[in-house]
Amino acid sequence: MKGIQSIAFIAMLFVLGLAGSASAFWGFGGNETVAAVNGTVTIPVADVDDGQAHFYTYDAGGKDVKFFVLKSRDGIIRAAFNACDVCFGEKKGYSQEGDFMICNNCGQRFHSSRINEVRGGCNPSPLHRNDDGRNVTISANDLKDGARYF
């Protein structure tokens, strides 16, 4: 009986591990919630300058707007909605693989240096941002405009 309990426990850990990985992969986990102050969302540059995509959620009047911010290899802080013009209806967003953002629906790959530069199709939908060297700021109105994706 003890052997069956051990196998059941290991199986449960395995299933929970898969569920955790799947939620992170499909963009359901790991989003930090941000709020606007005086109409602006502020994210410290130090929080996003590691080359990794950092995923955020903003409440736009009851609609969760998801976006990511990252510093590409060329040193530019970039931001985009976690959606595109083609696959947004699937609500799967993007994941990161090295210097590429990957559409979790169709699998297309987009080099991080092209985010905010290329729009349309399955490219991550650009999100206007300002970077003063200390903080990345994003207008709450710009985030609200992206609510149509979510």
Kindly report, residue by residue over 95-138, the tens digit of the pLDDT.
Answer: 999 999 999 999 999 999 999 999 888 899 999 999 999 999 99
Contact 46, 69 (CB under 8 A): no
Q: 17 or 33, which is more confident? A: 33
Beta strands in 64-127 (DSSP E): 64-71, 77-81, 94-97, 100-103, 109-111
Lowest mean pLDDT among 48-52, 56-60, 74-78, 85-89: 85-89
Contact 121, 137 (CB under 8 A): no
What is the structure's pLDDT at 108?
95
User: How do beta strands 54-59 and 135-139 pair?
Assistant: unpaired
Residues 42-65 have pLDDT tens digits of 999 999 999 999 999 999 999 999
CA distances 100 to 10, 13, 140, Å, are 34, 31, 27
Q: 12 or 119, which is more confident? A: 119
pTM for this one?
Answer: 0.79
